[in-house]
């Protein structure tokens, strides 16, 4: 990216080109595969002639001949993340399978004594269900509401 900025004659053009490149990266991550420069452009990008921008990204090695993130770069970024997510998915499936197997066998939630098993619906709610006589809390907007200088001075203990 630095090479692109350094070799560019126009900083604003370089910034726009980098914005389009970041958009391409994000779009590729969203789809789980490399997408082309044109497909990676944001929806709000009005189709200017981007041939110069594409050529600049290719010239510095950020994109390949097809206008995509190079395969080697993509695999070094996306491959490990994909693998970590897949490992987490497998572990989650295995954990859920074990949990449901224990429930079906009546062995509880992992304790041998079975004393920590609580029937569904018998737990206390995490939020009180009966109303209280407490005054309502100030909303975030009310907390941020500007006060007059007179109010602030009046609150000061001088």
The secondary structure of residue 126, as a DSSP letter, is: S
CA distance 55 to 109: 59
The span from the CA of 77 to the CA of 29, in Å, is 10
Q: Which residues contact residue 42 at a Cβ distance below 8 angstroms, ignoring those fewer than 6 apart?
A: 20, 23
Rounded to two decimals, the pTM is 0.55
Q: What angle do CA 36, 76, 12 make, to 5 degrees?
A: 50
What is the structure's pLDDT at 61? 93
Q: And the tokens for 104?
A: 């079906």
Residues of the chain with pLDDT under 50: 110-114
């Amino acid at each position: 990216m630095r090479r692109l900025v350094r070799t560019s004659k126009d900083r604003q053009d370089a910034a726009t080109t980098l914005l389009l490149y970041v958009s391409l990266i994000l779009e590729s991550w969203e789809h789980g595969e490399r997408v082309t420069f044109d497909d990676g452009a944001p929806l709000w990008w009005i189709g200017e002639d981007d041939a110069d921008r594409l050529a600049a990204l290719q010239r510095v090695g950020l994109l390949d001949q097809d206008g995509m993130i190079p395969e080697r770069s993509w695999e070094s970024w996306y491959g490990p993340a994909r693998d970590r997510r897949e490992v987490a998915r497998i572990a989650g499936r295995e954990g859920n399978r074990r949990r449901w197997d224990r429930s079906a066998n009546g062995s509880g939630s992992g304790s041998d004594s079975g004393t920590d098993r609580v029937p569904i619906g018998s737990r206390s709610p995490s939020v009180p269900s009966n109303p209280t006589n407490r005054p309502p809390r100030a909303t975030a907007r009310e907390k941020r509401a500007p006060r007059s200088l007179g109010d602030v001075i009046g609150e000061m203990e001088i």
